[in-house]
Structure 1
Amino acid sequence: MPFVVGSTPAFAQDYEGKVISEVRINGLERVSEQLVRSQLEVQAGQSYSQLAISRDIRRLYDTTFFNSIKGDVTASGDGVIVTYIVDEKRVISEIKIIGNDKIKSRTIRAATTWKEGDTFVEEGYEEERDAVLKLYQSKGMPNAAVDIVVEEVGPSRVRITYMITEGKKAKISSLSFEGNERLSDRKLKKGMETKRRWWFLGGKYDESKFESDLSKVIDKYGDVGRMEAEITGTEMTYSENGKSVDISVSVVEGPEYTVATVEPGSNEVYDDDEIMDITKTKPGEVHNKSQVTADAEIIEKGYTSSGYINATVEPQVTLDKENKTTHVVQQISEGDLKYVKEITVTGNETTRDDVVRREIFLNPGERFDGSLLEASHRRLESTEYYDAIRFSTQDIPEDPRHSNLLVDVEEGKTSYFNFGAGYNTEEGVGGYTELRFNNFDIANWPSFQGGGQQLRLRVALGQRRDEYSLSFSDPEIFGYPLLFGFDIFDESYDYDNGGTDYSQETQGARIRFGKVLSPYNTARASLGYANVNYSDLRYGRFSPYYEYIGGDSTISTVWGFNRTTVDSNRDPSTGARHDFQIEWAFGGDNEFWKFDHDSTWFFSFDEEKKWVFSVRSRQGIGGAMGGSEHIPLASRYFAGGSTTIRGYDARDVGPKEPEILGLFGDDVSVGGELRLLNSLELKYKASKFFRTYLFMDSGGVWLEPGDFDPGDMKYSIGVGLGFDIPMMGPIRLDYGFPLNPDDDQGSGKLHLQGGFRF
């Protein structure tokens, strides 16, 4: 520490031995005079000593309160007056940070050395400024500017304000790796959220995402046996204008490890062979970190599905660095077999308890089953009543065989008034208004909420289609586990595109029943009445449609079975959907039967489930009964368009007849009694709101089942884009290329489905 003593008169030695009449202290502002005097050796009444003053100055410097101290002595009568002249250090009383939006204030404070309560050192100005600029540069913002303002706010007290202009973040121009041989740059980048810009899109640098991406890189090396891989450094090189940055990541891959042994640990309920049979990691293979973790999850799921709800499995991996092998132990804590004591529901301020409970596949007294809890969670989510659903268990100390199941929900918005507009290549432009209650209770006046019923009133008016409808559903009618619902509808459709040309008006009603058979299976039945009128048949009785119109009214019953094992109803990645339906029209003016099948399988190829391949197969067959000659036009099968075979016009695939007496004029589609449809689709989930698609469709329609000929099948391929925009709804855009079109079916077709909610 520098030691500076103020000069005293050259003749100070002439005062040696004289009596000190007074000791004065000048320059104090913040430091108390009492504190200073407590450090002084020199006192009034003593004999003057130059050495004593020097010692006092040293002690005052040791307090760290002063920048400089001088000792002065002046004659006063027969004695002398000693004066200590001090210059106090300034203290930082407050630090303010202004203009920072992208970096939190506490992060900036941690990067600087000035702290509130510390001594203000003016020489540290540039060092503090550079520290903040370096912080911003490390966050991808090299264009930031920092000004530091120092204000006097009191005696020897200052306020420091960092005034920051953050500027725009630099876009990532390139991302590369150094030192990697086992895994290419492309493989290391796959799955990273940090990406270089593409034209004017993307390329933003986010430090938290980048740190997470570096962890993913280490995990990828763990999947190929490089258990000692590490990131040794990252380097960011900015362009001269600071608008772009090149990122280079240095890695050391390390040696490859293979699995020497795999075994479970601490298991008693199941023996070693039973556990190892359901795992995939085997001795002699290259160590795969992700697979070892997945094995632990499979084992744990097996335990929880068997009632051991507190079971945990932790993979313990030991490295043999000499032999470059790993020893894997799936360490199991089994816990006790548990049964359900009580089910407690919380958070449901509006929804009745029984509405929540009926979606849970466990009952008091039954053994806990983790798979049933997962299915119950999916069921509760599918109601769309709740923003969040949490399951937990509560042990009962006095009853170790039982635990309580706690279900906590956060209720969301369930009543909607929507209106909007949309466009569909089959239906044209249209608008609609809809009042929908998803958690309706017809008996709960005046709120009419919380009963788990659904009520919908809808009016839609469009270029080709108009609809007026009222629907009601109660999943448990009168407390019985049986769905009841009804629909009343009035619809009209102008078929003036593709292969058809007429208008159809349908009025009717139906009652519906449904039963949940298991977590994945449901059955349904309905009884309906429909009255159909046709108009705008260009040639009236001479139109080929006239033969297939049938009578006006139809009374029919429908029986169906559905099995669903998908991981998400809204956007599935794995699992399957199967639906079987039989319709029997036995009353009114028409008698016929129909059988329909629709199955879709979903397969995911990566951990993030961004790539999803689906296979869909649909078949429909029917025939007339009793006094009817054909299935009526309104119930016949058609194909072509956005929902069947893309690349072809709506209803333009299948049997056709000339529009005048079946002998002259343009060919028009008359539908059939047999339809086969198949689709293959590859989906890439580019983001939460954006999807891309590749697809192949095939199918055909035959006038009667006996006319089936595989050579009549039509095929198409195409690409698609999907958008799921909040508050607007899903939009799907496909372009299909027909592979074997007829001469009048063109070379391609754009299909658009979507709309906007307001």
Structure 2
Amino acid sequence: MKKNLLAGVIAALFASAAQAFDPFVVKDIRVEGIQRTEAGTVFSYLPVRVGDTLNDEKAAQAIKALFATGFFKDVRIEVEADVMVLVLEERPAIYQIDFVGLKEFDKDQLKKGLKDIGLAESRIFDRALLDKAEQELKRQYLSRGRYAVEVKTTVTPLERNRVSINFTIDEGEAAKIKQINIVGNQAFKEKELLELFQLQTPGWLTWYTKNDQYSKQKLTADLESLKSYYQNRGYLEFGIESTQVSISPDKKDIFITISVNEGERFIVSSVKLAGDLVAPEEDLRKLVKVKPGDIFSRERLNETQKAISERLGKEGYAFANVNSAPEVDKEKRQVAFTIFVDPGKRVYVRRINIGGNSRTRDEVVRQEMRQMEGGWYDAEKIQLSRQRVDKLGYFSEVTVETPSVPGTSDQVDVNMNVTEKPTGSLMLGAGFSSSDGIILSGSIAQQNLFGSGKSVAVAVNTAKSRETYSFSYTNPYFTVDGISQGFDIYKKTYDPTGTSYAKSYKTSSIGGGLRWGVPIAEKESINFGVAVDKTDIETFADSRRIYKDFIKEFGNSNTSGTVNLGWGRDARDSLIYPTSGTYTRVNGEMSPVGSLKFYRMNFQHQRFIPFTKDLVLMLNGEFGMGNGLGGKPLPFYRSYYAGGVTSVRGYDVASLGPRQSDEAIGGNKRVVMNAELLFPMPGSGMDKSLRLGWFVDAGQVFGPKDDFGRYSKVSLADLRYSTGLAVAWTSPMGPLKFSIAQPLNDKEGDKTQRFQFTMGTTF
């Protein structure tokens, strides 16, 4: 049987000059040599079909098309009795990619980088990509400061025309920043300037932050911080002349040299407003934070431009441009600014779109919106809407965008995007004590029931001496205008019988109440409610006199009907991660009916003061007091207590205040004060789930009456103090709070507890 061979692409391309065979009509096409590739795949790329006339030109096109697929290492066409025979030699496929010596990276992370350049398992092997692969791996290591990395590649043939690729990596040691030098600085010491930098020489925490490893991105940010530092202190013409980064021959040490030109320090001579001001000039001038006679500050100038832009946004000018033009007098070292205002067109909101809420209903978010559809754009209302949605506590992140509507110049949409977080919490606890034996506690709560915004909570705490069962329900939008309604039911038992406790008393309480909340301003509300409680008390032969006297005067079964009234104002910028604003609440509780008549009043004020973007001071003050009515005492089981992770850390829970026979008996006055400097975990970047705090706590409980019928007076000298470090972490398992505290003035008999924590899980 006669065969004509077309030997490769080159012969085919020159077939027009000298034909290797006579053209013929293809009666059949046969494929030989393939192992993995389907014949149908070959035919889909082949430009020749049965019935076509095959000549040298079409044969060349066929060979070229099959080579272009990248599947084949060799392509030949043979002719056998009007049958076109394709003889193919496949390229091997990559069976697996593996790494040896890998420590710095996760294997999947490196595989993703190789896949981006075309090298991946199950793909066709192309030896030309190996060099690119090695360079990509080295690039990944260089980004981690490992400049001495070495990569060797081994390709092992396998059966069924496959290969295994193995990268042997010698990671070497990470190069560390040996020295950072700033040249040309006269106004500020180098040490002071280097404190602005994120990059640094090795320190006690750099093993975690990696800030002692060179990063181009970090250096760029540091140079910008350096520039801002100078320009915020009057050096208008400050510039960075050069930056040199060098590495030692052994590739272990990095040296950074920054050359600066400080220029002269400038004073602001005047500030003018120009352009279409729209708002009264007097109002806008109040927003100008750069005053004549001040040292020039780029930060204050930017704040001025931002404040004016936001003020115009309140009037509906969403795309206002506010820019400043300086006039520099180098001889006098003065600079004058003209702030140009271009409000643009006034725009209104076409549509409000809610995104990211897969569980929470749209209406739950929309009822917190203060910007209305069809209304004029108001930047302040949009920001307020974002804060209100954030304070719901249902979302880990809330962002707002205001894109213009395509094809219009006077309309925008408000796109509010939320990232939902688990709003249910399951708190479980187990412990053992010599007195109570095994102690089990737990609670389950859902703040956003079925995405409706309603909340329910069930709590159970059982020990040999104490049992608590409670159920709570709240509907934050009982009415459309924001009146909330809720109720609480509980049953509590305290029974120390059979424990090592002194048999002081035994109580059993059951009760419940209704409550309502009414908004009276954007950030203020009042709340009121009614409740009923019935408590049975039993004393023992060795019970303390304070309890026996109470039973003698009021009996062993008492009921009280209480009326609650309160006022609150929440002006914090966030519920999740507050950095500024205040929170204030005042509550009063009175029991004018029943066998026991008393009152209790509580006040709390909290303030967040931002020092920098990441450094926030939280101040908290609480005061509570109560007493009986008609000359009667406050029921001892309604007394105040302090101590523990929620009041004065470093002291055992509810252990502060008056004591009898080493037992805290509570009091009728309570003072708690906290100061905490909050900051993110070093190296956590924008992550808001982990926050540290250095704190100082103070507090005490005062009362009850002494043997002469007098209450102990509130005295600052009797306060207990502590200091320490706290960690709050919204972990994947749930919210965790830890504190390590050192009591500063504990007295004999005080129960201290230096390490305290609370933990739970979310769903």
Q: CA deviation at 1:754?
A: 1.5
> 1:507 corresponds to which residue?
510
Tell whether 2:260 aligns with 1:252.
yes
- Which stretch shows the higher mean deviation, 575-584 or 381-390? 381-390
SS at match of 2:302: helix
Kindly provide the amino acid, as one letter, of the partner of residue 718 in structure 1: T
1:381 aligns with 2:390: yes
Query: Do residues 525 (structure 1) and 532 (structure 2) align?
Result: no
Q: For each residue in 1:455-482, what CA deviation from the matched residue of structure 2 results, as whole angstroms up to 9, or x when unmatched?
A: 2233344587543222211112254531
Whole-angstrom distance in 2 between the partners of 1:602 and 1:497: 45
Tell me the amino acid that sits aligned with residue 525 of structure 1: F
Match of 1:359 in 2: 368
Amino acid at match of 1:613: L
| Structure 2 match to 1:681 | 676
Would you say the 8 A contact 1:500–1:651 is kept in 2?
A: no
Rounded to whole Å, the distance in 2 between the matches of 1:345 and 1:133 is 44
CA distance, structure 2, for counterparts of residue 149 and residue 411 of structure 1:
45
Deviation by residue 1:524-575 (Cα, 9 ceiling, x = unmatched)? 11211223345676723x5323335655322212111111111222332221
Contact 1:452–1:475 (CA<8 Å) still a contact in 2? yes
Is structure 2 residue 552 aligned with structure 1 residue 546?
no
**Cα separation, 2, equivalents of 1:408 and 1:669:** 51
Separation (CA, whole Å) in 2 of partners of 1:600 and 1:527: 27
Q: Does 1:617 align with 2:621?
A: yes
Residues 601 and 464 of structure 1: is their aligned pair in 2 closer, same or farther, counting only changes over 3 Å? farther
Question: CA offsets, 1:670-718, max 9 Å, x none?
Answer: 4333333333333343345241313141445143797535365324132
- The Cα offsets for residues 4-33 of structure 1, whole Å up to 9 and x where unpaired, read as xxxxxxxxxxxxxxxxxxxxxxx9955457
- 1:640-659 map, 5 Å: 640-656=643-659, 659=660
Deviation of 1:246 (Å): 3.9
Write the letter of the residue equivalent to 1:630.
P
User: How much does 1:337 deviate?
Assistant: 4.5
| 1:460/1:217 CA distance change after superposition, 3 Å | farther
SS at 2:224's partner residue?
A: helix
Match of 1:84 in 2: none
Q: Is the 8 A contact 2:695 2:726 kept in 1?
A: no
Cα offset, 1:295, TM superposition: 1.9
Query: Which residue identity is paired with 1:179?
Result: V
Shift of 1:328: 3.8
The answer (yes or no) to whether the contact 1:488–1:508 under 8 Å persists in 2 is yes
How many percent identity over aligned positions? 18
1:428–1:537: structure 2 CA closer, same or farther, 3 Å change rule? Answer: same
> Equivalents in 2 of 1:640, 1:135: separation in Å?
51
Aligned CA distance change for structure 1 residues 216 and 29 (closer, same or farther; 3 Å)? farther
CA distance in 2 between counterparts of 1:296 and 1:260 reads 18
**For each residue in 1:613-658, what CA deviation from the matched residue of structure 2 results, as whole angstroms up to 9, or x when unmatched?**
23222222222125x72111122223344433445444444445xx
Amino acid at match of 1:456: A
Question: Which residue number corresponds to residue 34 of structure 2?
Answer: none
Which amino acid in structure 2 is aligned with residue 176 of structure 1?
I
* Partner SS, residue 229 of structure 2: helix
Q: Contact 1:173/1:246 (CA < 8 Å) preserved in 2? A: yes
The corresponding residue for 1:156 is none
Match of 1:569 among 575, 583, 601: 575
What residue identity is the alignment partner of 1:593?
A: Y
Q: Which residue of 1 aligns with 2:667?
A: 672
Shift of 1:195: 6.8
- CA distance in 2: counterparts of 1:532 and 1:36, whole angstroms: 107
Aligned partner letter, 1:451: S
Aligned to 1:232: 242
Structure-2 change in CA distance of 1:432 and 1:382 (3 Å): farther
Name the counterpart of 1:300: 309
Give the 3 Å change call, closer, same or farther, for CA 120–732 of structure 1 in structure 2. closer
- TM-score normalised by the chain length of structure 1: 0.71
CA drift at 1:192: 2.0
| Cα pair distance change 1:573/1:408, threshold 3 Å | closer
SS class of match (1:671): coil
Q: Secondary structure at the match of 1:356?
A: helix
1:484 aligns with 2:469: no
Offset at 1:590?
A: 1.2
Correspondence for 2:295 among 276, 281, 286: 286
| C-alpha separation in 2, matches of 1:500 and 1:304 | 67
1:229 positional shift: 2.3
Matched to 2:388, the amino acid is R
Cα deviation, residue 585, structure 1: 1.0
Q: Using the alignment, how far apart are the partners of 1:428 and 1:247 within structure 2?
A: 62
Whether the aligned pair in 2 keeps the contact of 1:523 and 1:560 (CA below 8 Å) is yes
SS in 2 for 1:198: coil
CA distance in 2 between counterparts of 1:413 and 1:233 reads: 44
Residue pair 1:176, 1:185 contacting (<8 A) in 2 also? no
Number of the residue aligned with 1:718? 723
Inter-CA distance 512–714: structure 2 relative to 1 (3 Å threshold):
same
- How far 1:755 moved relative to its partner? 2.0
The verdict on how the C-alpha distance between 1:651 and 1:211 changes in structure 2, with shifts beyond 3 A counting, is same
Partners of 1:485 and 1:625 lie apart in 2 by 28
- In structure 2, the partner of 1:421 is 429
For the aligned residues, what is the CA RMSD? 4.9
Deviations 1:117-148 (A, max 9, x none): x9989xx98x9978975884464112422236
Quick check: 1:97–1:105 contact (8 Å CA) kept in 2?
no
C-alpha spacing 1:301/1:428, structure 2 compared with 1 (3 Å): farther
Q: 1:324-364 CA distances to partner (integer Å, 9 max, x unpaired)?
A: 65554444332345566665556656544432222122445
Letter in structure 2 aligned against 1:672: G
* 683 and 400 in structure 1: CA distance in 2 versus 1, 3 angstrom threshold: closer
Equivalent position amino acid for 2:578 in 1: P
* Counterpart for residue 639 of structure 1: 642
Within 2, Cα distance between the matches of 1:178 and 1:301? 38
> How far apart, in 2, do the equivalents of 1:264 and 1:386 lie?
41
Measure, in 2, the Cα distance between the counterparts of 1:711 and 1:413: 42
Partner of 2:32: none
1:239, CA displacement in angstroms? 8.7
Instruction: Kindly state the Cα deviation for residue 578 of structure 1 after the two structures are TM-superposed.
Output: 0.6
Shift of 1:376: 1.6
- CA 1:104–1:266: 2 relative to 1, 3 Å: farther
Is 1:559 equivalent to 2:573 in the alignment?
no
Identify which range, 323-332 or 218-227, moves more after superposition. Answer: 323-332
Distance 1:730 1:346, change over 3 A: closer
1:368, 1:699 → 2: CA distance?
50
Change (3 A) 1:591 1:233: same
For normalisation by structure 2, the TM-score amounts to 0.70
> How far did residue 668 of structure 1 move?
4.7
Contact 1:424 1:752 in 2 (8 A): no
Instruction: State whether residues 424 and 753 of structure 1, in contact with CA within 8 Å, keep that contact through their aligned partners in structure 2.
Output: no
What amino acid maps onto 1:452 in structure 2? G
The alpha-carbon distance between structure 1 residues 246 and 734, as it changes in their structure 2 partners (threshold 3 A), is same
Q: Residues 725-748 of structure 1, C-alpha deviation per residue, up to 9 Å, x if partnerless?
A: 332422221323243x544337x6
CA contact (8 A) 2:604 2:621 kept: yes
For the residues of structure 1 that align with 2:326 and 2:394, how far apart are their CA atoms? 43
Worse overlay, 490-499 or 696-705: 490-499
Contact 2:504 2:547 in 1 (8 A): no
- Call closer, same or farther: CA 1:409–1:398 in 2, change over 3 Å: closer
| Secondary structure in 2 matching 1:619 | strand
CA distance change for structure 1 residues 175 and 452 in 2, over 3 Å: closer, same or farther?
farther
Correspondence 1:703 to 2:704 = yes
For residue 754 of structure 2, give the secondary structure of its aligned residue in structure 1.
Answer: strand
Which residue matches 2:343? 334
Q: Give the aligned partner of residue 456 of structure 1.
A: 457
C-alpha contact 2:390 2:576 (8 A) present in aligned 1: no
**Aligned position for 2:26:** none
User: Is residue 692 of structure 1 aligned with residue 699 of structure 2?
Assistant: no
Report the secondary structure of 1:573's partner residue: coil
- Which residue among 403, 417, 420 is the counterpart of 1:412? 420
The counterpart of 1:147, out of the listed 152, 157, 163, is 152
Q: Partners in 1 of 2:454 and 2:249 — Cα distance?
A: 61
Distance, in Å, in 1 between the alignment partners of 2:742 and 2:140 is 51
